[in-house]
Amino acid sequence: MSFGADTAAQGRGVRFWGFRGPLGAWVCIWGTLMMLASAPFDNWWHNAYGLDVKIMSPPHAVLAWGMIGIQIGAMLMALSRQNRAPPAEQRRLSLLYAASAGILLTMHATVLMEYAAFPNDMHSARFYRLTALGMPLILVATARASRLRWPATATAVVYMVIVLLLMWALQLAPATARLAPIYHPVTRMVPPPFPLLLVVPALAIDLLMRRIRGHDWPLAGAIGAVFVLLMLAAHWWWAEFLLSPRARNLLFGSDHWDYSARLGDWRYQFWSRDAGTLVFLRGIGVALLTAMLGSRLGLWIGSGMARVQR
């Protein structure tokens, strides 16, 4: 916008350091700078502490925040167009917004992958505490700002399609481990686990947001409770299937481990079992509270995003 001749577009832009541009573009620039800053930080980290293949490390967290920032910027640019567009064009732009939100949800799920993605974790309260952290917020904020009829469901479907395509494709790609120690000599790229069944609570979120109107705190409480309970219902028995021999095929992609894994019976067992029913229920209570607060924050953010014009 700063270098264009469209005065109307310049008037809609956000001014920063003498330049004008869409709000989403500025957020993308901020995310790009964070990604660039993560590279020398990661190089220093490896020189200081050695090579690592973990998702969560301080430099990787900076990189992830930069990537997430770029995706939020893309969402804001799609939103500004959606909110200004005539009704005939809003659906196309809303689909673009939902696709961007689905990519954001995929990024967030990837950050949590080491702790809340494998079926072995799905019988512990930690899995439900972690999935309640951020996922309801993204789904609710998307649904509040979108003009689609099923926005949270569309976002969850985009996430599921992305992960499934990655899972199916990577299983077929030849690869050889080259970073010692190698305990499991893989011959194919290691795919991500089967995607979480987020489409189940997302569908309920869309239904609740239609039924409960004008009262955000009761709505947030209902969404948070339904999110955790449906995640529990959907994944408890699904995890048992994914750990069974029936899921060890191309379609479900179970039993794939990286080169650093020392294979054993632990592959088919549940990890981090809670020490008693009371401890598990206490963890689910924390997950419920986290999901409710995240849903309320998502409603507030979504209301602001629904008014984005620049």
> Residues 82-102: pLDDT tens digits?
888 777 777 888 888 899 999
Average pLDDT over residues 155-164: 97
pLDDT per residue as tens digits for the range 221-243? 999 999 999 999 999 999 999 99
pLDDT per residue as tens digits for the range 240-280? 999 999 999 999 999 999 888 899 999 999 987 666 789 89
Number of structural domains the chain divides into? 2
**179 CB burial (10 A radius; 0-12, 13-18, 19+):** exposed
- Give a yes or no: residue 109 inside a domain: no
- Give a yes or no: residue 257 inside a domain: yes
Q: How far is CA 87 from the centre of its chain?
A: 29
Query: How crowded is the C-beta side of 257, counted as CA atoms within 13 Å?
Result: 16
- Give a yes or no: residue 98 inside a domain: no
pLDDT-derived band at 5, boundaries 50, 70, 90:
very low
Average pLDDT over residues 175-193: 88
Task: Show Cβ contacts of residue 245 under 8 Å, excluding neighbours closer than 6 positions.
Answer: none
Residue with tokens 């951020």, as numbered in its chain: 134
Residue 41 has pLDDT above 50, yes or no: yes
Q: What are the phi and psi torsion angles at 221 (to 5°)?
A: -65, -45
What pLDDT does residue 140 have? 96
Q: How far apart are CA 136 and CA 296, in angstroms?
A: 9
Cβ atoms of 214 and 131 within 8 Å: the answer is: no
Joined together, the tokens standing for residue 95 give 């689909």
Cβ atoms of 197 and 143 within 8 Å: the answer is: no
Average pLDDT over residues 120-148: 93
Q: How far apart are CA 212 and CA 214, in angstroms?
A: 7
Q: How far apart are CA 228 and CA 274, in angstroms?
A: 17
Q: Clarify whether residues 79 and 122 are in a common domain.
A: no
- Give a yes or no: residue 90 inside a domain: no
What pLDDT does residue 304 have? 87
Q: Clarify whether residues 195 and 258 are in a common domain.
A: yes
- Give a yes or no: residue 180 inside a domain: yes
Joined together, the tokens standing for residue 269 give 């067992």
Q: Are strands 14-16 and 19-21 parallel, antiparallel or unpaired?
A: antiparallel
Task: Determine which helix (DSSP H) or strand (DSSP E) holds 15, and give its type and residue range.
Answer: strand 14-16
- Give a yes or no: residue 65 inside a domain: yes
Tell me the H-state helices in the chain: 7-12, 23-49, 58-84, 87-111, 125-131, 135-145, 151-170, 199-211, 216-242, 277-305
The domain boundary, picked from 84, 102, 126, lies at 84
Average pLDDT over residues 186-197: 94
- Give a yes or no: residue 113 inside a domain: no
Q: Clarify whether residues 290 and 201 are in a common domain.
A: yes
Q: Domain span at residue 180?
A: 118-305
- Give a yes or no: residue 188 inside a domain: yes
User: Over pLDDT 90: what percentage of the chain?
Assistant: 53
Average pLDDT over residues 12-18: 64
Residue with tokens 């686990």, as numbered in its chain: 193
**10 CB burial (10 A radius; 0-12, 13-18, 19+):** middle
Q: Clarify whether residues 135 and 66 are in a common domain.
A: no
Joined together, the tokens standing for residue 265 give 């019976």
Cβ atoms of 129 and 283 within 8 Å: the answer is: yes
Q: Clarify whether residues 174 and 267 are in a common domain.
A: yes
Joined together, the tokens standing for residue 27 give 């957020």
Residue 306 per-residue DSSP state: T
Average pLDDT over residues 106-134: 92
Q: Clarify whether residues 142 and 202 are in a common domain.
A: yes
